[in-house]
A and B are shown apart, each in its own frame.
Chain A
Amino acid sequence: MSLEGYRILLADDEKALTDYLAPILNRAGFSVIVVHDGNTALRYVTEKHPDLIVLDVLMPGLDGREVCRRLRAAGDWTPIIMLTQVNTTVDKVLSLEEGADDYLCKPFDPHELVARVRAVLRRRQVLANQPPLIRASRLRSGNLILDRRTRRAYLGGQMLELTPKALALLEYLMLHPDEVLTRERLLDAVWGWDYPVATRAVDARIAEIRRALGDDPESPNFIETIVGIGYRFLAPVEPLEDGR
């Protein structure tokens, strides 16, 4: 599955940052167009249809959130990776309403951005003819159904008893199927804080989800442990249209 030659729109008003990020993305095999404000970004997307947008939140003119909202409202589901700033809580960014595919907190490792771009593009390729997972209010993987609006999960029609944090973790895992997610990233995304000791908290919640799902860590159907790194949701996930 080659991702070479994909066109990426990089929208960030910090020229000192884009001057270095663009060549790094270029070297990774993508062709990159840089814009420095929200209005130009929006115009470019509607005219040239890039394959992915890397969008900074704080920009002159329209901010990144507004660009994302307007695109989604117009039915444009171009994958978006949001570069968030201080004081943006994660659940807001990953919410159904916001509609970004992924987020990355500044300051980030440029290689992490490349990895995320690849992961988002790959995810979209797998679901080529389906609406993106981030848009779905319900996700299905085998007989597991997660309803993002009512915050409930069902296994074979039976409602699962999960703590809110465990449910949010399951949601994040299901939104990033087949991706190796480090404990640190899960902490950052679901808990909103990342302290070395807290990686145990991730393990505890994964254990809770596994208990609820009856998933054996030795031969898992849903969540695989990647020793020394983190976890991966290995079962395929599909969006479930309302009313089905």
Chain B
Amino acid sequence: MKRRWLLWTILIGFPLLAAFGAAIGLQHGMGSNPVFRLQVRADLGTWILLGNGVVTLILLLGVTGFWGAHYLRRQVLANAQREYSLSRRRFIRHLEHELKNPLAIIRAQLTYLSERAEGVSPERILSDILIQIERLSRLVAHLRQLVELEEQNIECVPVDVASLLCEVVEASQTHPNYEERQVHLLLPRAPWPLPAVNGDRDLLGLAFFNLLDNALKFTRPGDTIEIRAFENGRSVVVEVADTGPGIAEDDLPYIFEELYRGANARGYEGSGLGLALVRAIVKRHGGNVKVRSRLGQGTVFTVSLPIASWPFVTSCYKNVTHRYPADIHLKRKRCII
């Protein structure tokens, strides 16, 4: 803080002092008229007063500006903190909900077992308990994976998005809802095919699969799902659009949060971590994901990933082109720019 004040004083003080000196000097040198010279000498005090006045004014302005900026910064920080604490509270509430249900089920099953009541066989109850335990294990594992994804190194090699999307669509054909939906994959051929992006093919595949899986899950029979990809010179953009029930406007800001379930998503099976995973994967690849939705009309998720030739990204694997020597394992770095 002290250093900042010193800087201010030097920045404003010195030019002022110089200007002051120059003014006096100018007046001095101006001439041969002794009366005038006398007048200047007599006014030296006024000049100093005036100079001080100007310095004070500028210092005052500086202080006000400084405090204003400080106040604004504090406001922004407080807002971010409030938002963080809100989202943390939402997360804990949702986590509690996700844990509570299987635990309540296990408790009921154990009580039933201890009462040795007629009806369901003990073997059946034990296997039902195991199902709930697996549900909890899965939740813990997926939460861990989400955290790890932010920390661990990911592979950074050129990925052909077009062939990846073909595979993802193919994999989704085993989804029980696939037959009753119109699924279209639209890939550009002209003027050139999709360029490659840098990253981890398996993780990107997982992100696209999650988006498509969501679309299949939340749409109704007869609905249309389109997976479209194009490029805009900087990024490869992949859209997953559907004519499903849509997401309520109030839910939209939160759907990428861990364990958040929108009003339309309750009652469907799933960990509530799918979209959070999509966001984490896309972020790790230096891209972004957005959503637009209209209730009753449908939803479109838009993923943008930097093109492999985009200079900032290629720097993360400088010596590698489309061939991957085994030693890039040692050189691999985070894909985040």
Residues of B within 8 A of A200 (CB): 167, 171
Size category of the B interface is 20 to 34
Residues of A within 8 A of B201 (CB): 201
Complex interface residues of chain A between 172 and 216 (CB less than 8 A to chain B): 191-195, 197-198, 200-201
B205 A107 Cβ-Cβ under 8 A = no
CA distance A192 to B149 in the complex (A): 9
B326 A161 Cβ-Cβ under 8 A = yes
Residues of A within 8 A of B148 (CB): 87, 89, 192-193
Residues of A within 8 A of B137 (CB): 107
- Does chain A have a CB within 8 A of B11? no
B205 A201 Cβ-Cβ under 8 A = yes
Our pick among B149, B209, B328 for the contact of A164 (Cβ within 8 Å) is: B328
Residues of B within 8 A of A87 (CB): 144, 147-148
Given the known inter-chain contacts A164-B332, A200-B171, A201-B205, please indicate yes or no for A194 contacting B141, CB distance below 8 A: yes
B171 A152 Cβ-Cβ under 8 A = no
- Does chain B have a CB within 8 A of A167? yes
Residues of B within 8 A of A22 (CB): none
- Does chain A have a CB within 8 A of B34? no
- Does chain B have a CB within 8 A of A160? yes
A197 B147 Cβ-Cβ under 8 A = no
CA distance A87 to B330 in the complex (A): 22
Our pick among A161, A164, A192, A201 for the contact of B145 (Cβ within 8 Å) is: A192
A191 nearest in chain B by CB position: B202
A161 B323 Cβ-Cβ under 8 A = yes
CA distance A198 to B149 in the complex (A): 15
B152 A201 Cβ-Cβ under 8 A = no
As a 0/1 sequence over residues 119 to 154 of chain A, the CB contacts with chain B under 8 angstroms (1 = contact) are 000000000000000000000000000000011110
A164 B155 Cβ-Cβ under 8 A = yes
B209 A161 Cβ-Cβ under 8 A = no
Our pick among A89, A152, A192, A193 for the contact of B327 (Cβ within 8 Å) is: A152
- How near does chain A come to B317, taking the closest CB pair, in angstroms? 11
A153 B326 Cβ-Cβ under 8 A = yes
CA distance A87 to B141 in the complex (A): 10
- Does chain B have a CB within 8 A of A86? yes
Residues of A within 8 A of B140 (CB): 86, 107
CA distance A155 to B155 in the complex (A): 24
Our pick among A86, A153, A163, A198 for the contact of B155 (Cβ within 8 Å) is: A163
Residues of B within 8 A of A195 (CB): 206
- Does chain A have a CB within 8 A of B133? yes
Residues of A within 8 A of B329 (CB): 151, 164, 167-168
- Does chain B have a CB within 8 A of A162? yes
Residues of B within 8 A of A165 (CB): 155, 200, 202
A149 nearest in chain B by CB position: B330
A161 B324 Cβ-Cβ under 8 A = yes
- Does chain A have a CB within 8 A of B233? no
A201 B327 Cβ-Cβ under 8 A = no
Our pick among B136, B202, B324, B325 for the contact of A201 (Cβ within 8 Å) is: B202
Which of A87, A163, A197, A200 has the most CB atoms of chain B within a 10 A radius of its CB?
A197
- How near does chain B come to A210, taking the closest CB pair, in angstroms? 16
- Does chain B have a CB within 8 A of A226? no
- How near does chain A come to B332, taking the closest CB pair, in angstroms? 6
CA distance A190 to B332 in the complex (A): 16
B147 A151 Cβ-Cβ under 8 A = no
B138 nearest in chain A by CB position: A194
- How near does chain A come to B211, taking the closest CB pair, in angstroms? 12
CA distance A41 to B149 in the complex (A): 33
Give chain B's interface residues, CB within 8 Å of chain A.
133, 136-137, 140-141, 143-145, 147-149, 151-152, 155, 157, 167, 171, 200-202, 205-206, 209, 213, 323-330, 332
Give chain A's interface residues, CB within 8 Å of chain B.
86-87, 89, 105, 107, 150-153, 159-165, 167-168, 191-195, 197-198, 200-201
Known A-B contacts: A164-B324, A193-B149, A201-B205. Give 14 more (CB < 8 A): A89-B148, A105-B141, A107-B137, A107-B140, A150-B330, A161-B323, A161-B325, A164-B155, A164-B157, A164-B328, A164-B332, A165-B200, A165-B202, A197-B213
